[in-house]
Structure 1
Amino acid sequence: MNSKWLYIAAFFVASCSKDPDAVNGGEKTNWGDQPALPVVSGQSTFTLNAADDYVSVMGNTVPRMPNFPELKVKPGIVRGYVADLSGKPLQGAYIGVRSTATGGSYSGASDETDANGYYEITIPWGATEFYAAGYTIDYGEGRAVMSLGAADGKLGNFPSADGLVKNFVLLSYGVYNKDLVSQKPKDPTNYAGGSFYITYNVADASSVYNPDTYIPENAEIQVTLTPDEPGFYGETKTFVVTKKASLQNYNFLIMNIPVGRYTIAAKLKDGKPLRMEAVGRYANLYPNFGMKPGTATGSAKLLFTPDTQSGNSLTLPNRGNWGSLQIKVERMN
């Protein structure tokens, strides 16, 4: 993994303040051998027709999970491990649960993982759910909060008395919940990767107002994302998306992009570069993220923008925390 993306110095230690050996009846913390990381390299191309308005560049795949140490279920306790995709335990990840009885208010409890990636929470009585699972990474020149995904892809209510073992993973791309994706395939928060919109105006032959900057109908907009360096887990894939401009829609969403640093280039397929401008809610929201510079012709640098910087304790589990930056493209005069 590229050292610039080594977002935590997490390592195995034999004893710590919450060593499962000491508190769990002799259970051993053994991460064991880990499978090789998925290879994400080469180039993928996508063609969007006039009616198409989104693409998930990594599809609906879920990366293979790391191997977690085995834990037994303990009544009244929720516990587990948090790791990155390589099987490296993550220290300082926040896991929060809350419980409610019929007609009652919520009672919450939380924990942060230790050096072994282990957390353990005594559950308040009632029907219980996870309300937070977040981890802060170094990203570009700043820091960003990312959601953690349940390793088994499942989150739901469970009786507090039963207890539960639940492991979480930090993903750079992939589907969090296949059921939700089947219902809302265009919701970028259902994916772990970053996303952005390309917006544009289309020249309308029936209108008297057609500035030269408008994209001709049926012209093909081509957007290329090239990694500036390997991503979190060594991803180096380039993505090329071509979209036919149409009066049916004025934007398209590119999502589930492996988190990393990119160069974004936009042009008409005939080779003429397009002017790009970051617009909308996420434009210049944080100084270290987004498109740099905010206005550019042909190409610019791109880092994805966190939807919120409010901290790990307010980051929902199994839900992407990247906002979809809007990038307006237009022809040059």
Structure 2
Amino acid sequence: MNSKLCFIAALLLVGCSKDPSDIGGDQTANWGEQPALPTVTGEATFTLKAADDYVSVMGNTTPRMPNFPALKPKKGVVRGYVADLSGKPLQGAYIGVRSTATGGLYSGASGETDANGYYEITIPWGAAEFYAAGYTIDYGAGRAIMSLASTDGKTGSFPSADGLVKNFVLLSYGVYNKEVYGQKPRDQSNYAGGSFYITYNVGDPSEYYTPPNYLPEGTEIQITLTPDEPGLYGENKTFVINKTVSLQNYNILIMNVPVGRYTLSAKVKDGKPLQLEAVGRYAGTSPHYGLKPARAVGSAKLLFTPDTRTELAMVLPNYSNWGTLQIKADRME
């Protein structure tokens, strides 16, 4: 073969070769080496003053993201990968996008990830956004749907014609959106971890009659969460929350607890146990989730309750799908 033909053949081979970042699916992607999982062990203690009514036990951080295979945008297509925090691809994750044109009518499209965690969806024409991103896990004696977090913390509008690459991660704790956190740090839906309220009645010494199970103003109570087993990614940390009760507020919102099984204990400073009772919207909604038993003295088992959105297509991205259980704490009579 002469030199001219060899040159043409070389060009053809280059033109036909695939850019690795332009390939998706379970045959070609290379996930590569992954960073070690974050270590979440030991014990953390929080002391809340009378005016404090919430705490994020894992703070305002988000775990580092795994390494994803490279992808380039394809016009008219949204695609990417879904993995757990260790970098394991997740098959069967649901991703939904919708677009709107003039007039405000929406057109939607969706897809599920393959064995390599890859999805690819042709986007309806218009201004597009993600309306769903969820994954189902084994949890307790049943199954629970969790929201997926976008690796860049964004799921806002983008032009459908340009296409987009968007990767998602299954988190057990962490802040979904730092901008929302800056504006609403008390918004439990912006945390991937579970949450619950401790509510109580506070006795006013100026009143003629105060029921015996009310907590006197200024009483110090202690709430302890002890893992029964390692969590979703091996988390094994105990959380102790000390709180001075006050007429200023009647509850504590405890948020961003790594997903897992816990023993919840509650007592006053002198060591006397508090009576615990699951109340409100999520009480008794499941024989497996929530506070077990639903009424207890001193301690009970706690398993976070999935919200009422039971279909993957209804789970918003970057938005917690855990319901906030309300637990009433009373002094022993």
Q: Same fold (TM over 0.5)?
A: yes
Q: Which runs of 5+ in 1 are unaligned?
A: 1-19
How many Å separate the matches in 2 of 1:99 and 1:274?
Answer: 52
Look up the SS of the partner of 1:237 in the other structure.
Answer: strand
How many Å separate the matches in 1 of 2:148 and 2:25?
Answer: 28
What's 1:200 paired with?
200
How many Å separate the matches in 1 of 2:187 and 2:226?
Answer: 24
Structure 1 residue 240 and structure 2 residue 244: aligned?
A: no
Q: Deviations over 1:116-173 (max 9, x none)?
A: 0000000000000000001111101111110000011122100000000000000000
CA offset at residue 28 of structure 1? 3.6
What's 1:136 paired with?
136
What's 2:229 paired with?
229
Structure 1 residue 68 and structure 2 residue 72: aligned?
A: no
Identity %: 74
Query: CA, structure 1 residues 135+244, in 2 after alignment: closer, same or farther (shift >3 Å)?
Result: same
Query: CA, structure 1 residues 26+278, in 2 after alignment: closer, same or farther (shift >3 Å)?
Result: closer
Look up the SS of the partner of 1:313 in the other structure.
Answer: helix
CA offset at residue 102 of structure 1? 1.7
Using the TM superposition, name which of 281-290 and 250-259 deviates more: 281-290
Q: Which runs of 5+ in 2 are unaligned?
A: 1-19
Report if aligned partners of 2:21, 2:71 keep a CA contact under 8 Å in 1: no
CA offset at residue 104 of structure 1? 3.7
Aligned residues: 314
Cα RMSD of the aligned pairs, angstroms, is 1.6
TM-score where L is the length of structure 1:
0.92
What's 2:7 paired with?
none
What's 2:255 paired with?
255
Query: CA, structure 1 residues 86+212, in 2 after alignment: closer, same or farther (shift >3 Å)?
Result: same
Instruction: Name the larger-Rg structure.
Output: 2
CA offset at residue 287 of structure 1? 1.7
CA offset at residue 27 of structure 1? 9.4
How many Å separate the matches in 2 of 1:286 and 1:183?
Answer: 33
Query: CA, structure 1 residues 32+218, in 2 after alignment: closer, same or farther (shift >3 Å)?
Result: same
Q: Deviations over 1:239-281 (max 9, x none)?
A: 0001101000000100000000000000002111000000000
What's 1:324 paired with?
324
How many Å separate the matches in 2 of 1:272 and 1:24?
Answer: 59
How many Å separate the matches in 2 of 1:259 and 1:24?
Answer: 31
Look up the SS of the partner of 1:42 in the other structure.
Answer: strand
How many Å separate the matches in 2 of 1:66 and 1:23?
Answer: 19
Report if aligned partners of 1:144, 1:309 keep a CA contact under 8 Å in 2: no
How many Å separate the matches in 2 of 1:57 and 1:330?
Answer: 23
Query: CA, structure 1 residues 137+122, in 2 after alignment: closer, same or farther (shift >3 Å)?
Result: same
- How is 1:34-53 mapped onto 2 (pairs within 5 angstroms)? 34-53=34-53
Query: CA, structure 1 residues 55+202, in 2 after alignment: closer, same or farther (shift >3 Å)?
Result: same
How many Å separate the matches in 2 of 1:252 and 1:26?
Answer: 46
- How is 1:108-119 mapped onto 2 (pairs within 5 angstroms)? 108-119=108-119
Structure 1 residue 264 and structure 2 residue 256: aligned?
A: no
Report if aligned partners of 1:176, 1:191 keep a CA contact under 8 Å in 2: yes
How many Å separate the matches in 1 of 2:22 and 2:61?
Answer: 38
Look up the SS of the partner of 1:278 in the other structure.
Answer: strand
Report if aligned partners of 1:44, 1:238 keep a CA contact under 8 Å in 2: yes
How many Å separate the matches in 2 of 1:262 and 1:80?
Answer: 34
What's 1:289 paired with?
289
TM-score where L is the length of structure 2:
0.92
